[in-house]
Structure 1
């Protein structure tokens, strides 16, 4: 489904939810969609991707399902605009472009990673011991490394959060978030729509506490291109807030 003639189902021009026929026979454990790519993990740890193609009239149409060739089982996937980032069961981070052979990120080879999240042109990883690493495009501050580092071609350790015990990271179009064990939230990156939840529209180049949620315990974060949603817990109730 999609807009402006975007097709990700059986190739017909639809804008409502519909099944992808050749996926119905498989048990899917994780999936992620980017601007031009869909990636999913099957029950046996195999990863597959579907890249959309542009037709002559400018519409995006579904391409063929392609299986990713890798020796280890994959447990999670996250897509940016065009890039696919995979996480193996051993905690290894792998990147996949238009080829079908993923490559490991050398800077993270000796680090066990528990989660990866992709924005449009950047990625964020959380290690098992709670450390954050970022790489990719950072012109809006989405890497959290300060104004003097607008991009990074390899994962960089985010020292400013090294003393904070973290449980989740999230990334949207040009924004990044980190969630602490205590429920405190940190945001950085693009903020032209107020998606950082800081009460203004100024970009941040380093992680900044989201004080507006100090009285609530955040338990999950999800980012869109220009907005962010948090799931918070108050006493015995849970509810969703968009920031």
Structure 2
């Protein structure tokens, strides 16, 4: 039997959805985040502003949880660090700026 794919965390916003999948293989366990839907502010985290009708992977980071907002998303990685991406005009990404991010950005430590 090969690797199994399951859902670890899922959240649906108004215009986009994100999921963390859990892949269990014979030697490794990994998690990958995927988002799909509207991407006008970079809320899918894939580095583009392209709307996706199917799940698009958020590259390079393994996640344990994920959550969606109106036009932004946040997750925690396997080291319990918070990351957010997407719309940021009110500072909702928590990175000390008001500039949107098309890819995950670390939340500033309090």
**How would you bin the TM-score normalised by the shorter chain?**
0.7 to 0.9
Q: CA RMSD in A?
A: 1.6
Alignment: residue pair count: 100
**Contact in 2 for aligned 1:117/1:170 (Cα 8 Å):** yes
Aligned to 1:111: 5
What is the CA deviation profile of residues 181-219 of structure 1, one whole-angstrom value per residue up to 9, with x for unaligned ones?
322111100111110001111111011112x22xx7xxx
Inter-partner Cα distance in structure 1 for 2:33 and 2:73: 11
Taking the TM superposition and a 5 Å limit, the aligned residue runs for 1:115-194 are: 115-128=9-22, 129-147=30-48, 149-161=49-61, 164=62, 166-194=63-91
TM (norm. structure 2) is 0.82
Superposed structure 1 runs of 4+ greater than 2 Å apart: none
Aligned pair 1:198/2:95, yes or no?
yes
- Larger RCO (CA within 8 A; separation ≥ 6): 2
Larger radius of gyration: 1
Inter-partner Cα distance in structure 2 for 1:203 and 1:140: 7
Inter-partner Cα distance in structure 2 for 1:176 and 1:191: 10
* Higher helix residue share: 1
Inter-partner Cα distance in structure 1 for 2:16 and 2:5: 19
Q: Could you list the runs of 5+ residues in structure 2 that have no partner in the other structure?
A: 23-29
TM (norm. structure 1) is 0.39
What is the CA deviation profile of residues 71-126 of structure 1, one whole-angstrom value per residue up to 9, with x for unaligned ones?
xxxxxxxxxxxxxxxxxxxxxxxxxxxxxxxxxxxxxxx73112111122001000
Taking the TM superposition and a 5 Å limit, the aligned residue runs for 1:19-98 are: none
